[in-house]
């Protein structure tokens, strides 16, 4: 596999294999929790559950090429050229898909390394997979840690990986 898209296709075709790491499989911010569902560097999948009526400020993940895969909930992604607005799902909630699943289940949004984005989460909160390829030789941890921008509260400030200091300064 070379691309995050190929990894996502492999992950889905192999029925979402469960391979959490022994060390640090759970991360949380002031509004969300994530579980590292699968990790085999440089590939990773995190399952995110986000509290209702919350906001993730615009930020980026400098070492992660990712696809966000919609599972459930209501939210709007901000800062992306083609934001997928999931805050008003009434047109999709009248009837399920032929198999009983939500009609948006499995929709994906691409987020490149260093691409600024944020989220506004509605009354139902949100659940999604973040399917990731870690780049720049960085060992996978969590996009909760690999974060550049305003944090999501006091706890998250303690979780974010500190920026690398220039030793020549």
Query: What residue ranges define each of the domains in the chain, with the CATH number in brackets?
Result: 4-156 (2.60.120.10)
Q: How far apart are CA 37 and CA 17, in angstroms?
A: 8
- 52-62 pLDDT, tens digit per residue, is 999 999 999 99
Q: How far apart are CA 25 and CA 95, in angstroms?
A: 36
pTM: 0.86
- 61-86 pLDDT, tens digit per residue, is 999 999 999 898 888 888 776 545 55
Do residues 51 and 31 touch, judged by C-beta distance below 8 A?
yes
Phi-psi region of 40 (alpha: psi -120 to 50; beta: other; left: phi over 0): beta
- Residue 27 structure tokens: 């991360």
In the beta sheet, which residues pair with residue 64?
134
Q: How far apart are CA 78 and CA 111, in angstroms?
A: 11
Name every residue whose Cβ is closer than 8 Å to that of residue 6 and which is 6 or more positions away in sequence.
none
């Amino acid at each position: 596999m070379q691309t995050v898209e190929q990894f996502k296709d492999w992950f889905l075709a192999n029925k979402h294999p469960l391979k959490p790491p022994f060390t640090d499989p759970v991360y949380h911010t002031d509004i969300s929790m994530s579980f590292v569902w699968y990790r085999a560097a440089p590939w990773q999948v995190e399952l995110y559950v986000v509290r209702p009526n919350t906001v993730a400020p615009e930020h980026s993940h400098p070492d992660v090429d990712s696809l966000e895969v919609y599972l459930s909930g209501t939210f709007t992604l901000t800062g992306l050229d083609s934001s997928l607005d999931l805050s008003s799902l009434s047109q999709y909630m009248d009837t399920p898909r032929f198999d009983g699943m939500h009609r948006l289940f499995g929709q994906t949004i691409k987020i490149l390394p260093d691409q600024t984005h944020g989220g506004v989460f509605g009354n139902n909160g949100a659940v999604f997979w973040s399917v990731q390829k870690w780049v720049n030789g960085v060992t996978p941890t969590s996009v909760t840690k690999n974060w550049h921008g305003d944090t999501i509260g006091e706890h998250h400030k303690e979780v974010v990986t500190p920026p690398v200091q220039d030793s020549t300064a």
